[in-house]
Amino acid sequence: MRKIFFICFLLLAFCPFVIAQSQKKPFAVLDDYIKKKESGWEDSRIKLSKLFQQERTKLKSGFETELWKYLGESERKHYWVALFLDSDAYLHGYSPMPELALNIRLKGVKLEPTKLSGLTAQLNPEKPDVRAIVRKLSMLLTAAVSAEGLDKTDLAVSLQKEFESLLSNNQDLESYLPILSKYKRCLYEKIRSQQNLCQKDSSAETNEGVIAKAAIINSKAISIPKPDFPKATSRQNYKGVIRVGLVIDEQGNVISAKAFEGPMELYDAAEKAALQAKFTPTFFFGRPWKVTSEISFNLR
């Protein structure tokens, strides 16, 4: 009798939780993760893409219908979800869906960019929505590449022309365009010439889609000292890289360095070296700008 009573108690206790979980809207787990971590799509892209692929499996035949509902009018969701559908870095072994990714980008291109306020809007009186312009450029660029990858050349040319027209009026934003994989950069160059032979690389480029990160900052480096590894530690015992997240101030000085990948025994030395690095300042419309980025120390 006690055993039956205990089982009933557990059922009553956990039923509300189970029901609540089952009633959650599809893809709500992505928004919940962002809210919990207080991060954005870019910062949490690897984890979010894994959660996305899990939802994709769970929804089965209802996947596309529920996905369009979830995307709504958010250009940011359109941008990242399209990448989750056709970028090797975010597929996690799942099959790519390039046609769906293109359709999402084509809708994203037509969306009204989110209006911004505060300091970003004050950067330039004539161009208040700096990040909105960057997002529009990013969507046009990736949509053009996506169309070319599907041999939709006329559409690719049209999107490329719109992209380059907008960029010509905002040339100071060129360094804030998204990072493309080597394959996709090749596709972009192929759009007009149709002469390139683009082959996919087997290695995933985990920075794909990211704005103004290490690939750009490294080219702005004035000096990056080598880490002074502890004498008791033989560097030859380690392979790979140590990645260090940075905050770089308006003068190009590193004001924060935090290692997050590689042998933990070498974190301290890598962080000390990173703090001594110097970069050329990053500008938005002629004004120096504080940026976040990362650098890598190769251990091979």
Are the CB atoms for 173 and 130 separated by under 8 Å?
yes
Q: How many CA atoms lie within 13 A of 25 on its CB side?
A: 11
Beta strand spans in the chain (E): 221-223, 241-248, 254-261, 278-279, 282-284, 287-289, 291-298
Task: Specify the pLDDT at position 233.
Answer: 54
Place of tokens 């910062």: 43
pLDDT along the chain (300 residues), means of 10: 58 50 80 87 91 96 96 93 95 96 96 57 50 84 96 96 88 75 89 83 78 52 86 62 84 89 89 92 64 77
pTM of the predicted model, to two decimals?
0.64
Here the tokens at position 131 are 């990040």
Here the tokens at position 113 are 């960019």
* Neighbour tally for 86: CB within 10 Å: 23
Q: Tell me the three state secondary structure of residue 166.
A: helix
**How far apart (Å, rounded) are the C-alpha atoms in residues 217 and 234?**
29
| The total number of residues written for the chain in this structure | 300
